[in-house]
Structure formats: structure tokens, C-alpha cells
Amino acid sequence: MLYSSIIAMVASAAALGLAVSNRRRSKRLKTQLAEHQASAEQQIINLRSELDRSIAQLSGRSASASNLELHRKKIDSIEERQAHCQKEVDHLRGESQNLAMLPTWHPTRVALAEELRPRLVPITDKLGPVLFPNQLAFDELDWMYKLPDRKFPYSLTFEEGMMMHYLVAANELKSGYEIATAFGFSSFFLATAFEKTGGHLISADAYIEEEMEDFIYDHASAQAHVEKLRQLQRDEQYDQLPRGLQFAMEGAAALKIESVVDYEIACSPEGVPDLLNDRQLDFAFIDGGHFGEQPVLDVQSVLPFLHPERFVMMFHDTQCEAVAKAVHFAAQATGTQPFSIHTRNRIVAVTKGIDPNILHTCREMTVRQAV
């Protein structure tokens, strides 16, 4: 009996001990489980944000891939358009060259070129052929010229010079004035024509473009430059005079037309009355300042000296707004109609009492036919 009680007591003590140890173990296991859970959740959070980052990178890459595709398509379409434009340019060039064939072989043009080209070789050999940016020459007569060591001024083209020569010679004109000389290129065509008619040319310039190496300047600078040049002339310091004036005089001597042309240093319009004095002009070439009111003032200065019944007034660069305005001013003032000739620099004639066939011949022989 005692034994069985002792055994029962020992058994219940052992059971109690086991129970306590089990509870402790379960508590420890629960803590461990909670820790594992927390770490697992943290790992899930980390993995998610990593996944998000990777997805963002991937979509970034696919965005740049589609951008790349877009650029490639744009390049393809530009290349296609470029090829198309080139075809159009080639086509237009072909068309214009075809149009140029008939005037190229116009007998008057051929005769003028055969006469004047060899005569002017000593001049053109010393000049530089020039065009404005993005221009192409139709042929060798379609170039302007400049002094090799100066940026400006530019001359008319050889074709335009031939037309000026033809207009003077064919109309038997006798008394001419040109504003402006630059380095004499236009004066050579005119004076060789006046040589044929027994006429005379006055060519004037302020030499301001050569001085500034630009075609924009203010009038006060031109006036001051003329005063300075006149003083040099009075002091006989000829080697200090503008290169353009020296070239013009040397050229006139080489062409043996010194007696046909007078080169004057003057500022238009205020210097013109003294230059023209009691002359009556049947030819005037307006090719001085090309901006503001200057071309209109140049015309105004010449009008009192024009023959009332018979004259040719030529304009150069009528693509310039200020020159175009002067053309209409001259036509209105003289009760005439302007006659445009489609040369490189769009020359225009305002004429009275002269043979219209001569003007039409000029239009027919320009290589750049108006279509």
C-alpha cells in the first residue's frame, strides 16, 4: 500500500516535470516559429521590391527599344524623302537645262560672246568668278566676278554685261551714266558699246562696299569715305585710292577705252548734279546701294538729266525689294512700263522711244528662260 502510494507520487511528479518541460519547449518553438515567420515576411517584402525594380528596368528597356524602333522608322522615311527630293532636283535641273538650249544658241548671244569673251579675257583672268551661297551657274556666262582679294563688291554676270552692251550699241545710244563702278566690270561692257556708237560713259562710285567689305553701310560713312578719297586725289596719292578704281582704270587702258569712260569718286544722290552738269543722258544704269530709299534716290538724281523722248534706264538686282520699288518709281515718273529680263540678277529696263524688238531679243537670249 505504502509502495503503491510512493509509486503514484513519483509518477505524478514525473508527469508534472514532463508537462512543465513540454510547455517550455512549446513556448520556445512558438518563439522560433514567430521569428521564422517574421524573417520570411521580410524576405517576401525584399523579393517583391527586387521584382518591382527588375520589372521597371525591363519596361524601361522595352521603352528604349520602342524609341529606337521609332528613330529607325524616321531615318528610313527621311532617306526615302531625300531620294525623292534628289529625283525632283535632277528632274528640274534637266528641265531647265533643256530650256536653256534654245537661248544658248541664239545668234545674237553667240555673236556677242564671240566678240566680248576674248576681248575681256585680260580682265576676267585677273578677277575671281563668284556666286551667292547655294547658287549654281547655268554656264560660263552666268558667273558674277569680284576682286580676288576683296569679299565685296560683286559685279553683274557676263551675260548681263553682254545685254547692257547690246542695248547701248543696237539702240545707238550716246550718253551714259552708271552708278556704280565697283571695279569697272559693268563699265567695260558699256564703254566698249559707247566706243562703237561714238558715245561716252560716266561711271561713279563712293567705293564704300570695298571699304566695308559689305553691302550694308550708312550714308554718312559713304559721304565721309568720298571726302577722304577726294583728299587723296588732291594730294596725288593715287596708290592709296581704292583697288576697285585702280582696277577699273587699268582695265580701261588695257581695253583702249580710256577716252570713252570717266571714272568719278562721288556719293549718290547729292554728288550727281555736279557729275552730270549739263549732260543729257540716253542711258542710265542703276546699280549702287540696294537697300532702303537709296535706289529711289539714285533714280531721282538721274531723272532731270534724262532725254525726254528717248532713253534706256537699266536696273540690276530687282529681286531686292528696294530696287524693285525704284523700278516702279522710275516707270511712273516717266510714264513707261518696266520690261523685265530673267537673268541671274533679274535686270529690268525702263525705256522710252526705243525699238522694242531689241528688248525682246535680250529676253530671248537669256539662258534662264522665264516659264
β-sheet bridge partners, residue 264:
204
Minimal distance in Å, beta carbon 272 to ligand SAM? 9
Amino acid making up residue 146: K
SS3 284: strand
Minimal distance in Å, beta carbon 185 to ligand SAM? 3
Interacting residues with ligand SAM between 269 and 298 (CB under 6 A): 287-289, 294
β-sheet bridge partners, residue 262:
202
Lookup: cell for 143: 558667273
Question: Is residue 339 close enough to count as binding ligand SAM by CB under 6 A?
Answer: no
Binds ligand SAM by CB under 6 A, chosen from 156, 276, 281, 313: 156
Minimal distance in Å, beta carbon 205 to ligand SAM? 5
Question: Is residue 116 close enough to count as binding ligand SAM by CB under 6 A?
Answer: no
Q: Are 158 and 140 in contact (CB under 8 A)?
A: yes
Minimal distance in Å, beta carbon 356 to ligand SAM? 25
How many binding residues for ligand SAM (CB under 6 A)? 21
Minimal distance in Å, beta carbon 222 to ligand SAM? 5
Nearer Cβ to ligand SAM (282/287): 287
Question: Is residue 267 close enough to count as binding ligand SAM by CB under 6 A?
Answer: yes
Minimal distance in Å, beta carbon 91 to ligand SAM? 33
Question: Is residue 359 close enough to count as binding ligand SAM by CB under 6 A?
Answer: no
SS3 291: coil
Report the alpha-carbon distance of residue 275 to residue 16 in Å, rounded.
Answer: 141
Question: Is residue 155 close enough to count as binding ligand SAM by CB under 6 A?
Answer: yes
207: left (phi over 0), alpha (psi -120 to 50) or beta: left
The full DSSP string for 52-74 is HHHHHHHHHHHHHHHHHHHHHHH
Lookup: cell for 324: 524693285
Question: Is residue 222 close enough to count as binding ligand SAM by CB under 6 A?
Answer: yes
How far lies 268's CA from each of 2, 203, 282, in Å?
A: 152, 12, 19
Minimal distance in Å, beta carbon 107 to ligand SAM? 25
Q: In what order do the strands lie in the sheet with 283-286?
A: 261-265, 200-205, 175-179, 283-286, 311-315, 347-352, 338-341
Report the alpha-carbon distance of residue 306 to residue 322 in Å, rounded.
Answer: 22
> Residue 229: phi, psi to the nearest 5?
-65, -35
Nearer Cβ to ligand SAM (267/331): 267
Binds ligand SAM by CB under 6 A, chosen from 158, 177, 194, 207: 207
Binds ligand SAM by CB under 6 A, chosen from 141, 147, 158, 186: 186
Nearer Cβ to ligand SAM (149/309): 149
How far lies 100's CA from each of 97, 158, 277, in Å?
A: 5, 16, 43
281: CB partners within 8 A, 6+ apart: 175, 176, 177, 302, 305, 306, 307, 311
Nearer Cβ to ligand SAM (127/365): 127
Binds ligand SAM by CB under 6 A, chosen from 103, 116, 153, 169: 153
Minimal distance in Å, beta carbon 156 to ligand SAM? 4
Nearer Cβ to ligand SAM (222/350): 222
Number of Cβ within a 10 Å radius of residue 114? 10
Number of residues written out for the chain: 371
Nearer Cβ to ligand SAM (28/233): 233
Question: Is residue 205 close enough to count as binding ligand SAM by CB under 6 A?
Answer: yes
Binds ligand SAM by CB under 6 A, chosen from 182, 229, 261, 299: 182
Residues that bind ligand SAM (CB under 6 A): 153-156, 179-180, 182, 185-186, 205-209, 222, 267-268, 287-289, 294
